[in-house]
Amino acid sequence: METLSFREDIHPSDWSDWRWQLGRSALRRDRLARILGEEAVAGPVWEDLLRQYPCRITPYYMSLLRPGDAGDPLARQVIPDPRELEGRSGEDPDPLDEEKHMPVAGLIRRYGNRCLLLAADRCALHCRHCNRKRLWRRPASGSRRPRLRRALEWIARTPAIREVILSGGDPLTRDDGELDWLLGSLRAIPHVEVLRLGSRVPVVLPMRITEDLCRILQQHRPLWLNTQFNHPLEITEESAAACDRILTRGIPVSSQSVLLKGVNDRYEVLRDLFQGLQSIAVRPYYLFQCDAVTGTGHFRTSPAAGLEIMERLWKNLSGLCLPRYVQDLPGEGGKILLHRAPVGMSPDP
Ligand SMILES: *Cc1c(COP(=O)(O)O)cnc(C)c1O
Ligand code: SF4
């Protein structure tokens, strides 16, 4: 079995090269067999699983996994699971109805004053709980620029839009020049006041956050970066340093975590996650109830379980570590607050 502590065998200049990391993140069945063992990935179900939902793990994130620990909360987020092929009632490949809310291709508008641009068609790593996993197999289109130009034109003629979120896919998988062009084009639209990047890259590919990239991002402020930390073990020296490089350029970093069964659905884990984020100056922004995406049922907790944890967090944590616990509803429903603090609570003794 291939060891996961392979980091020593890799040249440091390769390791710190984000393109090298990205180039090695797609894992076919034979690679997975060497990592997990042949029996673990045998059978036709694995062929189906990897065809439908391909596996991507950056070597960096792979080095954080703990082989032999069946309950490893990081492995659970990235190792494919045959239960992803089970559909449950109430599930939908697109539970937020994003496809029905695209005034132009690749631009989602579910709120009056902000919109979300699908600015990249790949991710550094595939989170098995992803709510856009329906898009993983979409072929990389050669016509990306024309599509983005049409989206930019739509934003330019829609003055109600004051904030644009770049998402995807992961926008930070695109190269510096493309990002500079896209952010600059948005900045040139007078009514677009604020830009936001939604990216898991600081957590799963921290070497992508180069000084060159940060210099470009700095030029396009006010810019917010929203990332996704789901477990305290993801707060490493590397990911903390990546966040710090962004923060020191005057770009606030926040995190939207997803409540995931077997990953972070315990008070102690979320307490350590949110306090850990505060200690690296990353603001916990949202805690999402896991959306009813087809094939993610094994990740979903009941809202009641989330509320119970939230109640204890609310009593005991600094306000700066407390995200809002929300559920996203289809279309214009938007995000609704699941937890509201009752009046007059006293802290745990
Ligand atoms: C979540 C989301 C937003 C942003 O919502 P905030 O509450 O401002 O974080 C905007 N557009 C779409 C399509 C979204 O899904
Ligand atoms: S980085 Fe975001 S879009 Fe990409 S797989 Fe993870 S959750 Fe989905």
Work out the burial of residue 189: count CB atoms within 10 Å of its CB; fewer than 13 is exposed, 13-18 middle, 19 or more buried: middle
For residue 146, give the amino acid letter.
P
Note down pLDDT in tens along the chain; length 349 residues: 455 556 667 899 999 999 999 999 999 999 999 888 898 899 899 999 999 999 999 999 999 999 888 899 999 999 999 999 998 889 999 999 999 999 999 999 999 999 999 999 899 999 999 999 999 987 555 568 899 999 999 999 999 999 999 998 899 999 999 999 999 999 999 999 999 999 999 999 999 999 999 999 999 999 999 999 999 999 999 999 999 999 999 999 999 999 999 999 999 999 999 999 999 999 999 999 999 999 999 999 999 999 999 999 999 999 999 999 999 988 888 999 998 876 666 666 6
Q: Annotated catalytic, 114?
A: yes
For residue 139, whether the previous peptide bond is cis, meaning omega lies within 30 degrees of 0, is no
101 lines ligand 1 (CB under 6 A): no
Pick the CATH number of 98-337 from 3.40.190.10, 3.30.360.10, 3.20.20.70, 3.30.420.40: 3.20.20.70
Of the residues 132, 133, 174, 196, which is catalytic? 132
Which residue, among 254, 265, 192, 190, has the nearest Cα to 227 in the 3D structure?
254
Which residue, among 222, 223, 227, has the nearest Cα to 254 in the 3D structure?
227
- DSSP bridge pairs for 107: 104, 117
pTM as predicted: 0.95
Find the 190 Cα to ligand 2 centroid distance in Å. Answer: 30
Which residue, among 60, 78, 58, 183, has the nearest Cα to 120 in the 3D structure?
183
Find the 129 Cα to ligand 2 centroid distance in Å. Answer: 8
Q: Annotated catalytic, 111?
A: yes
Q: Which ligand is nearest to the CA of 120?
A: 2
Q: Show me where the domains of the chain are located.
A: 6-85, 98-337
**Which residue's CA lies nearest to atom 7 of ligand 2?**
130
Query: Where is 76: in which H helix or E strand?
Result: helix 75-78
Report the largest interatomic distance among the alpha carbons of the chain, rounded to a whole angstrom. 60
Pocket of ligand 2 (CB under 6 A): 123, 126-127, 130, 132, 170, 200
Sign, CA torsion 126/148/94/110: positive
Q: Which ligand is nearest to the CA of 196?
A: 1
CA 107 – CA 167 distance, rounded (Å):
10
**Which residue's CA lies nearest to atom 6 of ligand 1?**
335
Q: Annotated catalytic, 291?
A: yes
